[in-house]
């Protein structure tokens, strides 16, 4: 069945934000005279935001640091250089065009803070056309809690069971399941070990955005 609405995660699904997220984390690490994250570490942990990146960088030393203060430093650095290396994934423009042509409303539900989400989307006018944009702090709970997806669906007059959520980590699939929505893996994103992705039990695993387009019909 063609979904009546599609909601997307942002980092690792619509945008490759790893270069700028990684740079922000490395600036924090430099303040503590710690070595920078490798490219592999950055791409493995970006979907888990500041917590994931800084935990990877600090390692065992993380337990001796104030996580709130570290996150604040990370967000300061990230906000100062939010779109130096970030890019729209290839094929996303075409996918969004097809959704518009089929009059399937689409939105964004991310665990990036709402203010930073809008700051970043200012560089990508196409994404600003989303019918709804939900950040980590828009509501009382963030993913994997279902509230952000349910509220986004409600704003689009979408019955959750008829919607589809597309994300690149297991928490995205858990959120979709908890919201009684269809769940799809953006296999082009920060999925990590591909062998484990099948364990998430998503309804779809797409290697490329055009594979998602193919299930929408014409």
Residues annotated as part of the active site: 9
Which helix (H) or strand (E) segment holds residue 106: the answer is strand 106-109
Quote the CA–CA distance of 29 and 27 in Å, as a whole number.
5
- C-alpha–C-alpha distance, residues 139 and 103, integer Å: 27
Rounded Cα–Cα distance for residues 122 and 129 (Å): 11
Q: What distance in Å separates the CA atoms of residue 50 and residue 112, rounded to the nearest whole number?
A: 10
DSSP string, 71-101: HHHHHHHHHHTTTSS-EEPTTHHHHHHHHHH
Strands 163-167 and 182-186: parallel
In the beta sheet, which residues pair with residue 5?
Answer: 163
Neighbours of 85 (CB within 10 A): 13
Please give the Cα distance from 36 to 38 (Å, whole number): 6
């Amino acid at each position: 069945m063609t979904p009546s609405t599609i909601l997307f995660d942002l980092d690792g699904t619509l945008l490759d934000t790893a270069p700028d997220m990684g740079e922000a984390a490395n600036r924090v690490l430099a303040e503590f005279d710690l070595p920078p994250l490798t490219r592999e570490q950055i791409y493995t942990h970006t979907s888990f935001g500041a917590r994931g990146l800084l935990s990877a960088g600090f390692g065992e030393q993380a337990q001796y640091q104030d996580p709130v203060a570290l996150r604040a430093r990370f967000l300061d650095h990230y906000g100062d250089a939010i779109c130096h290396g970030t890019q729209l994934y290839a094929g996303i423009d075409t996918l969004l065009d097809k959704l518009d042509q089929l009059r399937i409303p689409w939105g964004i539900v991310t665990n990036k803070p709402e203010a930073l989400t809008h700051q970043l989307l200012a560089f990508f006018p196409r994404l600003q056309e989303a019918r709804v944009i939900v950040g980590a702090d828009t509501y009382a709970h963030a993913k994997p809690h279902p509230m952000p997806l349910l509220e986004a669906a409600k704003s689009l007059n979408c019955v959750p069971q008829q919607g589809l959520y597309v994300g690149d980590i297991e928490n995205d699939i858990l959120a979709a399941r908890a919201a009684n929505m269809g769940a799809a893996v953006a296999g082009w994103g920060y999925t990590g070990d591909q062998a484990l992705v099948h364990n998430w039990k998503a309804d779809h695993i797409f290697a490329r955005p055009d594979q998602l387009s193919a299930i929408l019909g014409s």
